Amino acid sequence: MSKQLSPAREIVEKFGGVRALARALKISPSAVSRWMMPSRKRGTDGHVPQRHWPALLKLAEKQRVTLTLHDLAKLK
């Protein structure tokens, strides 16, 4: 049985990993890593914070990576 990746982990992998994505977005690798870790204290569940969505969509277009709002929000 395969384990489903969190939405954040799927997105990070599309861009080549934590360090590559952090460098491209000009943020710390630890910030990107935190996206992938569920935390009740921070109120996160493995999703990319919305404030980063515009930069990610722009980066995806520039790097020709397939990424949509649906991927970011994981709406069902």
16 pLDDT more than 90: yes
Taking only the tens place, the pLDDT of each residue in 44-70 is 568 899 999 999 999 999 999 999 998
29 falls within a domain: yes
Kindly report the CATH number assigned to the domain that includes residue 60: 1.10.260
- On the CB side of 14, CA atoms within 13 Å amount to 20
- What are phi and psi for residue 69, nearest 5 degrees? -60, -35
> What tokens does 56 get?
């990610």
Domain count within the chain: 1
57 falls within a domain: yes
Can you give 25-68 as a three-state secondary structure string? HCCCHHHHHHHCCCECCCCECCCCCHHHHHHHHHHHHHHCCCCC
- On the CB side of 15, CA atoms within 13 Å amount to 24
Least confident of 4-8, 11-15, 55-59, 66-70: 4-8
- Residue numbers of the domain that contains 61: 7-69
59 falls within a domain: yes
50 falls within a domain: yes
Q: What is the reported pLDDT for 76?
A: 43
